[in-house]
């Protein structure tokens, strides 16, 4: 089996929250236009514009010839480390057969991940300007009060806040009327599996327009739709479309129980989250599904067992095709969100607690990794100092009902920097 071929450039459309086209969610390379200088941008270019661009044709030619491409470095690296990557070779022979020698592919993609901008009502701990304009706005406001802190955040980069673009800017690449109609047409006519992420998609009018367009064109029954939502908002409008879909799945971004998720996913409300879960449960029918997908991080790892137990209980005592759980992954960046930066003594105590519960291999490996030291002693001290400086400032600015120190007193005690 090929070590470089992947079906994504042959069958997948991906639009980043800032409107840049990429091969998929794993790569960090934006696709360049044919002048090899500008970048494709969904606010100016349609899906048809980039699909058979020079770069896309080159990627296909190289993959077919067995050559590595820079966009896919992350997958190659993961595979070298024995980790399963997102690279997918399914359908390889057929994709090769229908691709012209120059890489041109007449057939459009049937699979799509749509990141509908960065409009979001939350400012989650592990998030940044790219995925939440509110998060960016808050960082900017704190910086207006304390310019030294903002300067420090910027210098720290991926250690504390993965912010790359202008703070507070609303990424709304989908607003051009003509381009969005072209995108709806493409989704309606070609896409069989659509994953919609934000920002928070349920806050965005275009999210509903997609369903409406497909409904009017009678194509909902051909589609599997995955909606990634923070459950802070539900709109009854959607109940008209859900039963008509082939399948639908809610990926519930919930990162803790009660006040813990309210703290991490600030300013969410636990009762509202529970009510939203009930809303989808009520509408689940035979084609719906709800999957919990927590982002495992330093601020919730100590209750990972409790989160899973609560979820299984909420699902009626067992997981199945309709009520499921998925590992969104452990948060690696910003580094201060990664559980491994905590003091060893605290991590071992948490591992001992978690170990008493059995769930699956990923759970076991998360527990196992807590026992390993990934950083030098100096880096541990620096990262813990950064964790304190960043979170204390945010807590103070937000005037939270409970600070991280009050929510995780054992962690506070263990950090001795
Ligand atoms: S090999 Fe990996 S990075 Fe490249 S297109 Fe496939 S999933 Fe994306």
Distance CA 264, CA 253 (A): 11
> 3-state class of 193 per DSSP?
strand
Over residues 111-128, the pLDDT tens digits come to 999 999 999 999 999 999
Question: For residues 195 and 228, is the Cβ–Cβ distance under 8 A?
Answer: yes
Give nearest CA residue, ligand 1 atom 4: 72
Distance 274 CA to ligand 1 centre (A): 35
Asked if residue 347 lies in contact with residue 371, where contact means CB atoms within 8 angstroms, the answer is yes
Per-residue model confidence as pLDDT tens digits over 360-381 = 998 999 999 999 999 999 999 9
Under 8 Å between Cβ of 218 and 246: no
Res 164: pLDDT: 67
Closest residue by Cα to residue 192 from 20, 52, 11: 11
Residue 24 CA to ligand 1 center (angstroms) comes to 6
Q: Is the pTM value of this prediction over 0.85?
A: yes
Nearest CA to ligand 1 atom 6: 87
Minimum-distance ligand 1 atom for the alpha carbon of 9: 5
| pLDDT tens figures, 288-307 | 999 999 999 999 999 999 99
Compute the distance from residue 69 Cα to the ligand 1 centre, in Å. Answer: 9
Query: How much distance in Å is there from the Cα of 71 to the middle of ligand 1?
Result: 7
Name the residue at shortest CA distance from atom 3 of ligand 1.
72
The answer to whether 281 touches 273, Cβ cutoff 8 Å, is no
Tell me, in angstroms, the distance from the centre of ligand 1 to residue 366's CA.
24
> Which of 127, 7, 130 has its CA nearest to residue 72?
7
């Amino acid at each position: 089996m090929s070590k470089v071929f992947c079906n994504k450039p042959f069958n997948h459309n991906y639009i980043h929250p800032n409107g840049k086209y990429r091969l998929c969610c794993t790569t960090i390379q934006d696709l360049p236009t044919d002048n090899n200088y500008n970048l494709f941008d969904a606010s100016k270019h349609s899906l048809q514009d980039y699909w058979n661009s020079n770069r896309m044709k080159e990627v296909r030619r190289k993959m077919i010839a067995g050559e590595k491409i820079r966009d896919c470095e992350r997958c190659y690296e993961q595979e070298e480390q024995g980790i399963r990557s997102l690279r997918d070779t399914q359908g390889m022979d057929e994709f090769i057969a229908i691709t012209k020698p120059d890489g041109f592919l007449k057939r459009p993609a049937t699979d799509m991940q749509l990141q509908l901008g960065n409009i979001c009502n939350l400012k989650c701990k592990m998030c940044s300007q790219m995925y939440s304009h509110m998060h960016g706005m808050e960082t900017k406001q704190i910086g207006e009060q304390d310019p030294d802190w903002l300067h420090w955040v910027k210098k720290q980069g991926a250690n504390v806040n993965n912010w790359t673009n202008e703070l507070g800017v609303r990424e709304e690449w989908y607003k051009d009327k003509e381009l969005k109609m072209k995108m709806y047409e493409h989704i309606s006519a070609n896409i069989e599996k659509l994953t919609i992420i934000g920002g928070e998609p349920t806050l965005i009018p275009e999210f509903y327009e997609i369903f409406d367009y497909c409904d009017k064109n009678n194509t909902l029954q051909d589609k599997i739709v995955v909606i990634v939502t923070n459950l802070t908002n539900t709109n009854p409008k959607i109940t008209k479309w859900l039963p008509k879909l082939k399948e639908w799945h809610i990926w519930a971004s919930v990162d803790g129980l009660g006040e813990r998720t309210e703290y991490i996913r600030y300013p969410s409300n636990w009762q509202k989250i529970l009510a939203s879960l009930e809303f989808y449960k009520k509408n689940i029918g035979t084609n719906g599904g709800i999957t919990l997908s927590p982002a495992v991080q330093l601020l919730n790892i100590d209750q990972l067992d409790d989160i899973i137990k609560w979820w299984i209980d909420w699902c009626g005592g067992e997981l199945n095709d309709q009520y499921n759980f998925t590992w969104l992954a452990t948060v690696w960046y910003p580094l201060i969100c990664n559980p491994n930066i905590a003091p060893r003594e605290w991590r071992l105590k948490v591992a001992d607690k978690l170990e008493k519960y059995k769930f699956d291999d990923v759970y076991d490996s998360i527990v196992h990794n807590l026992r390993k030291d990934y950083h030098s002693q100096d880096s541990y001290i620096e990262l813990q100092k950064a964790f304190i400086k960043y979170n204390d400032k945010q807590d103070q600015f937000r005037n939270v009902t409970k600070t991280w120190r009050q929510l995780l007193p054992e962690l506070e005690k263990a950090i001795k920097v």
